[in-house]
Chains A and B, each alone.
Chain A
């Protein structure tokens, strides 16, 4: 079959879109990408999808390009194994493309994760996995909070199970600003805090079933015999029963034995096992807070779980190979039902981390958006809050969709920020939510946002300005790669310079087209293997008055969340100087 591969272009850095567009040169075959956030550039209307998948690839932005060719960009998934070739095809089956993916880390297996659970220096793939599970935990925490609020709001309903649940935006900054003095929250902390008592009560009195077995019993204690026992008895030598019972006076009889090997107890055992692993990881991650109450709570919890697992009772209970379908007891017995719900959450955490692995770049950009939104929300005062439309709620999905928990284009409405006596409106522009034909505040921003391949942009403008206005459009990239950032400063410098050069091209084009808008850039680089020792200052690269600031976010969001928001807030305040 002829493969029309020349139409597909794979970009490793999003801002390369503009270069591709300008050079108009197709890549050689086959397509390759190495460890970055791969983007596929296709003619408008191609609607690509992974071979064998039911849904198409997520679109990044509105179609853009020259008059002769309109292009659309799509996020490509990361491979889960090394050296994987990605088969992409047109949804109509008219074209297929093979993309060889190099330099990506394979998703670690469960056993590998467990074996390295409490190792300080982890291999890159496990460090990346930990980084992702931290991001996932962040999102899940928000979802669980939303579920709790929904249940409290609509008591007695099944509100917590809805596909989308709201969480007020105004609560977001507080929830993201986790104090560095405290160990991070986690599912295991919640289990230890909220469920441990009932869990161990279940362990002490697990459900049992009585099964009948035939075994020899003292003749005086026989309660029940059946046909098989009688057959055995008549075959024995002797005339009377006592003679047939032999010297030890025991005959075959039916006896009842307690059996704990039931599905619900297997789930209980698996829960204990998972809790031990989770607790071990959490304790390892938070070992510097070893004197904190939470730490001690989890430590105790882990010890009790281990002790329970050593009990002979659980030795007789089989192990679970897969997550089973719940039986009647797991669904309706009060104790086991709660166990089942917590168990599913723990399983879901692992599943979700696995599920977002192919879409980790998207998850990273969503995390950056959340922190930036929280930073801008901090700038809004009560007076301006009343004027604005930011009473908006954040909608969080139950399960991630293409690596994202938030609904698309979610942003706390146009926010009014007071800056030097002027009121500035800040609004988020999501490239995927923009359409090429619509103008934003009278400006054709969609092509600019699209061609730069930004994850999102924040538009600042003066409120009720009539003439000679100058808006500011802050282009934000969340850069995530599987490369180890050993030379992160150089990497960041190169990327910021590269991006600022592209941005200056856009700025010139905007000036030519009399677009009253200044462009600036912000690049937040993930450094999954890095260790946190205070957030770094913004790195700045300037090209012909176009600035792109870069920032590295190492390790866990719990550690740098507060500092990052503070820095972003300061940066946003500085940028507001450009708005006229």
Chain B
């Protein structure tokens, strides 16, 4: 079986000595490879027409190496050289806190620098990576490659790295690779003990330290136990990053000191980055002693630097225990690295930083590894020294969960080994690690149950942020229920990534006609650490080949957001008015009145007393003070003492509010005096809590059915604000229709008010109404409006009628045929209104302008009649003044249209109204 398995290879570019581990058969032969004729340092093109190179000749070249006397050599970040550890920086190793709490690197596609002549240049990061990988190409061609990458690499960077590696390659998170190696080295009897424990995987790299908290999990497969790490998406509580003064610079200082050469920033730069000096001096194992020498220009002439293997630990130990010199600090400043000035040594700075980072993640133990930690120091390694200090600080009681690379029985080069382990286990079908995917949503227009039209724009989850097998590809279930409207000529697929605010779009034009609603089936796939997710959208008729692929990386970034779509996308009209929200500030004002009412007894000596003093005007001013949310001026969100939601409508002091409701309920049961009853009904109405007052609702329904014309204003208010059952809605609408038919328009004001309250507080009221009833009501309302037009000022009746009429059009949501915009009946209705509506008097307009809500509703109506308006502008029989007015009104209606789509600001049409007002 094993003979069929492919040879594997693990790459850890951060390793100076042996970046590559290859195994020709699983769990057997392993072979380490060094950099060979290359160096972990790339020379950037210093002039036009060149390519980046990292072969020994290019790196050894004095060109642009930072030697002081070269004109083009500039000490600083733009010295046209880039070490491999800086490459990860470009790919977004340093995480940035996202709005939703996740940490993610921000990769750059191109690296900008200055060339020999000071001109600005750019080089693709992918080319740089290919340059580093060039020496291993021959081996990579025949092997299954896994490369270690930082834990916070975003999908763009992952795809860049994969593009440089080749299509069959895999990426593995560095902490996971280390944890896998450690887990594989643990005896099986300890697996259960470690199961569920959290391990802080600390990595000391050349220029930073990282901590990643991973959970350990015991997986038993085919009778064999495995200890695998579980990765979560990086967050502040499981991932930490801290830049440090780069080790090559610290070591360069140490080497200069060892050779008694006074360090300057130029010299430190030359040694650390100028050429391959530091690499040659420190990569002892791979290259032998003859290579461990280099030339360096100093104030005292050319110096020949070399160091024996015996002296190296002493030098490293000395330099990390002592305070780094000012030269390294200056270089660090040029590199843009924050450096503390507390005078502590490099080692103590790193230890303190690690302690802080580990403290953030609160693990059960730690695993210390990294290229830096393997450096020899005195008679041990740097990692072991740090580990001892961490152990004393955090885990004195749990010695079993402490591990250090190349010590404590833990193998060295853990990251490269982990990569090979992944490739081998993947082929053998053994468990590797568990990962978490980034959630991916598709933006759709949703339909409520029972609704005929598509309404709110929502994000529908395609890929959950769940725990998945790190080795396998996540293939989501086929998701059906998506459809395209008929008569569409193209579609724009919009996807949203978990941490991205902006959406990505793919536009698809259909070559076939969509004369019916087309069903779509979505099939999401994603593999951990292999870039972005891909969604297949299947429909055999619409798409050539049967499906279209939504590849996040290839989709266009759009300025659209979920919110903007919600504003822009047309839907049934008008938009929902959200539930009234309870406002604590308003409750604070109302609370003294509640206290007073609670202290008052309805019955005094067995006799009912008047509630006039307690439930007076001030009381109702406080409890009925509906206002628009001042923080959300562009929306229709309202606030009051109580909220209109049945489940979440109580003020913050819920106990007192409940006491208040109970007392209202009791008092209503006992109250006999009509005035008291009305006052109580009014107070109850402004609590919106119809569920708490079933008796009252029953009473109101009875009255609506038996004596529809006898309802008092308070009772109509209660009907509008307390009803929430279909029967109740129907009873009220029919009653109002009866009243409108029976009475003259002058005496139906309160009913219009009640109707307005019902349709604005209960968005679902029209769902249960009959379309004919609603249409008749609209016609009656139009008559009322027509009547009101003759008044010099608009009163409440006009306001209530317009708003009610506007919201009655919401019936379209449930009946696609109901009063379409082009419907003749709407046209007739609009025509009927046209003359009056077009000729508002300045005074009327001023009244409207003072009331934004009314204005919005009125203009909504104008939108419905925009066609008559358009005709009016083109009507040659009309005089110029009328035409101009019609033009302005038409413009208003367009503004209105955008408002209704966007719930936008009213400023646009307020200005136009002013124009009308002025002239």
Report A's interface with B, CB cutoff 8 A: 162-164, 168, 386-389, 391-393, 395, 407-409, 411, 413-414, 416, 423, 425, 427, 429, 432-435, 438-442, 446, 461-466, 469, 471
Is B298 in the interface zone, CB < 8 Å from A?
A: yes
10 tightest Cβ-Cβ pairs between the two chains A and B:
A163-B49, A442-B299, A433-B71, A425-B302, A391-B57, A162-B49, A464-B304, A440-B69, A392-B61, A461-B301
Are A433 and B63 in contact, with the CB atoms below 8 A?
Answer: no
Contacts of A389 in B (CB 8 A): 60-62, 275, 294-295
On chain B, which size bracket covers the interface? 20 to 34
**CA distance in complex: A463, B298 (Å):** 11
Complex alpha-carbon distance, A164 and B70, angstroms: 19
Contact call B48/A434, Cβ cutoff below 8 A:
no
| Max chain A C-beta neighbours (<10 A), residue from B63, B290, B293, B301 | B301
A434 to B298 alpha-carbon distance, docked (Å)? 16
* Residue pair B304, A469 in contact (C-beta under 8 Å): no
Asked if B56 CB lies within 8 Å of chain A CBs, one says yes
| In the assembled complex, B544 has its CB within 8 A of some CB on chain A | no
Whether B68 sits at the interface, judged by CB under 8 Å, is yes
Q: Contact check, B295 vs A407: say whether CB atoms are below 8 A apart.
A: no
Whether A164 and B301, one on each chain, are in contact in the complex, defined by CB atoms closer than 8 angstroms, is: no
CB A544 to nearest CB in B, in angstroms, measures 26
Q: Are B49 and A387 in contact, CB atoms less than 8 angstroms apart?
A: no
Asked if B71 and A441 sit within 8 Å, CB to CB, the answer is no
Instruction: Name the A residues within 8 Å of B57 (CB-CB).
Output: 168, 391-393
User: Do A425 and B295 touch (CB < 8 A)?
Assistant: yes
Residues of A within 8 A of B299 (CB): 439, 441-442
Q: Contact between B69 and A414 (Cβ–Cβ < 8 Å)? A: no
* 7 pairs, A vs B, C-beta closer than 8 Å: A164-B47, A387-B293, A387-B304, A414-B302, A425-B295, A440-B297, A465-B300
> If A433-B71, A438-B69 touch, does A407 touch B47 (CB 8 Å cutoff)?
yes
Is B426 engaged at the interface, CB distance under 8 Å to the other chain?
Answer: no
Could you tell me if B295 and A386 are in contact, using CB atoms closer than 8 angstroms? no
B340 CB to nearest chain A CB (Å): 31
In the assembled complex, the CB of B292 is this many whole angstroms from the nearest CB of chain A, namely 11
Residue from the set B47, B58, B69 with the largest chain A CB neighbour count within 10 Å = B69
The interface of chain B, by Cβ under 8 A from chain A, is: 47-50, 56-58, 60-63, 68-72, 275, 290-291, 293-295, 297-304
Q: A388-B295, A389-B61, A389-B62 are in contact. Are A441 and B49 (CB under 8 A)?
A: no
C-alpha spacing A469/B302, complex, angstroms: 11
Which residues of the other chain, B, contact A442 by a CB distance below 8 angstroms? 298-301
In the complex the two chains form, what is the Cα distance from A462 to B302 in whole Å?
A: 7
| Shortest distance between the CB of A443 and any CB in chain B (Å) | 9
* Minimum Cβ distance to chain B for residue A563 (Å): 30
Which A residues are in CB contact (< 8 Å) with B300? Answer: 441-442, 465-466, 469
- Inside 8 A of B302's CB, which chain A residues have their CB? 414, 425, 427, 441, 461, 463-464
Are B295 and A392 closer than 8 Å at their CB atoms?
no
Q: A465 CA to B301 CA in the complex, in Å?
A: 7
Given A164-B50, A388-B295, A465-B300, the answer on whether A413 and B69 have CB atoms closer than 8 Å is: no
Chain B: which residue is nearest A161 at the CB level?
Answer: B49
A435 touches B62 (CB 8 A): no
Question: A427 to B295, alpha carbons, bound, how many Å?
Answer: 12
Contact at B48–A163, with CB atoms within 8 Å?
yes
User: What's the least CB distance linking A240 to chain B, in Å?
Assistant: 65
Interchain nearest-CB distance for B59 vs A (Å): 9
Contacts of B294 in A (CB 8 A): 389
Question: A162 — which chain B residues lie within 8 A by C-beta?
Answer: 49-50
The residue of chain A having its C-beta at the shortest distance from the C-beta of B71 within the complex is A433
Which residue from B61, B293, B298 sits with its C-beta under 8 Å from A391? Answer: B61
Instruction: Name the distance in Å between B73's Cβ and chain A's nearest Cβ.
Output: 9
Nearest chain A CB to B307 CB, angstrom units? 14
- Complex formed: what's the CA distance from A93 to B50 in Å? 35
In the assembled complex, the CB of A542 is this many whole angstroms from the nearest CB of chain B, namely 26
In the assembled complex, the CB of B157 is this many whole angstroms from the nearest CB of chain A, namely 27
- A285 and B95 alpha carbons, distance in the complex (Å): 70
Given A386-B290, A425-B302, list of 14 further CB < 8 A pairs? A163-B49, A164-B48, A164-B49, A387-B293, A392-B57, A407-B47, A408-B71, A413-B60, A435-B71, A439-B299, A440-B69, A441-B297, A441-B299, A469-B300
Contacts of A432 in B (CB 8 A): 71
Structural contact, B61 and A464, CB atoms closer than 8 A: no
In the docked arrangement, what's the CA distance between A429 and B295, Å?
Answer: 17
Shortest beta-carbon distance, B290 to chain A, in Å?
Answer: 7
Asked if B60 and A414 sit within 8 Å, CB to CB, the answer is no
A77 to B275, CA, bound (A): 38
* A429 and B71 contacting across the interface, CB-CB below 8 Å: no
B61 touches A434 (CB 8 A): no
A464 in contact with B71 (CB, 8 Å): no
Q: Which residues of B contact A463 (CB under 8 A)?
A: 295, 301-304
Q: Name the CB-closest residue of B to A438.
A: B68
- Distance, CA A416 to CA B68, complexed state (A): 19
Question: Which B residues touch A168, using CB under 8 A?
Answer: 57
Q: Which residues of A contact B293 (CB under 8 A)?
A: 387
Tell me, rounded to whole Å, the shortest Cβ–Cβ distance linking A439 to chain B: 7
A462–B68 CA distance with the chains assembled, in angstroms: 19
Measured CB to CB, the nearest residue on chain A to B290 is A386
The residue in chain B whose Cβ has the minimal distance to the Cβ of A393 is: B57
Complex CA–CA separation, A259 to B71 (angstroms): 59
On whether the beta carbons of B71 and A409 are closer than 8 Å, the reply is: yes
Q: A434 to chain B: which residues have CB within 8 Å?
A: 69, 71
Contact residue among B62, B68, B291, B298 (Cβ-Cβ distance under 8 Å from A413): B62
Is the Cβ of A413 less than 8 Å from the Cβ of B304? no
A389 to B293, CA, bound (A): 11
* Choice from A409, A439, A466, A469 contacting B70 with Cβ under 8 Å: A409
* A479 to B: closest C-beta gap in Å: 25
B500 to chain A, nearest CB (A): 38
Bound together, the chains give a CA A160 to CA B747 distance in angstroms of: 95
The closest CB in chain B to the CB of A430 belongs to B71
Residues of A within 8 Å of B70, CB to CB, are: 409, 433
In the bound complex, do residue B62 and residue A464 qualify as a contact, i.e. CB atoms below 8 Å apart? no
B44 to chain A, nearest CB (A): 14
Distance between Cα atoms of A433 and B72 in the complex (Å): 8
Chain B positions within 8 Å of A425 at CB level:
295, 301-302
Which residue of B is nearest A425, CB measured? B302
A154 to chain B, nearest CB (A): 10
Q: Which residue from chain B places its CB closest to the CB of A154 in the assembled complex?
A: B51
Report the minimum CB–CB distance from B288 to chain A (whole Å): 12
Q: Known A164-B47, A389-B60, A391-B61; judge A471-B71 contact (CB<8 A).
A: no
- In the complex, the chain B residue whose C-beta lies closest to that of A433 is B71
Distance between Cα atoms of A160 and B179 in the complex (Å)? 49
Closest to B57 in A: A391
Residues of B within 8 A of A413 (CB): 60-62
State A434–B291 Cα separation when bound (angstroms).
31
A407→B47 CA distance, assembly (Å): 9
Shortest Cβ gap from B343 to chain A (Å): 30
Q: How far is the CB of A161 from chain B (nearest CB, A)?
A: 9
Inter-chain contacts of A393 with B (CB < 8 A)? 57-58, 61
A300 to chain B, nearest CB (A): 38
A-side contacts of B47, CB under 8 Å: 163-164, 395, 407
Which residue on chain A has the smallest CB distance to residue B61?
A: A392
**Could you tell me the distance between the alpha carbons of A164 and B294 in the complex, rounded to whole angstroms?**
28
- A391–B62 Cα distance when bound, in Å, is 10
Chain A residues, Cβ within 8 Å of B49: 162-164
Shortest B304–chain A CB gap in Å is 4
Q: How far is the CB of B360 from chain A (nearest CB, A)?
A: 45
CA distance A414 to B295 in the complex (A): 8
Question: In whole Å, how far is A381's beta carbon from the nearest beta carbon of chain B?
Answer: 15
C-alpha spacing A159/B104, complex, angstroms: 39
Question: Chain A contacts of B61 at CB under 8 A?
Answer: 389, 391-393, 413
Residues of B close to A163: CB separation below 8 A: 47-49
Q: Which B residues lie within 8 Å of A408 (CB)?
A: 71
Q: Which residues of A contact B72 (CB under 8 A)?
A: 409, 433
Partner of B68, one of A392, A440, A465, A466: A440
| Bound-state Cα–Cα, A190 to B46, Å | 33
- Look across to chain B and name the residue whose beta carbon is closest to the beta carbon of A441: B301
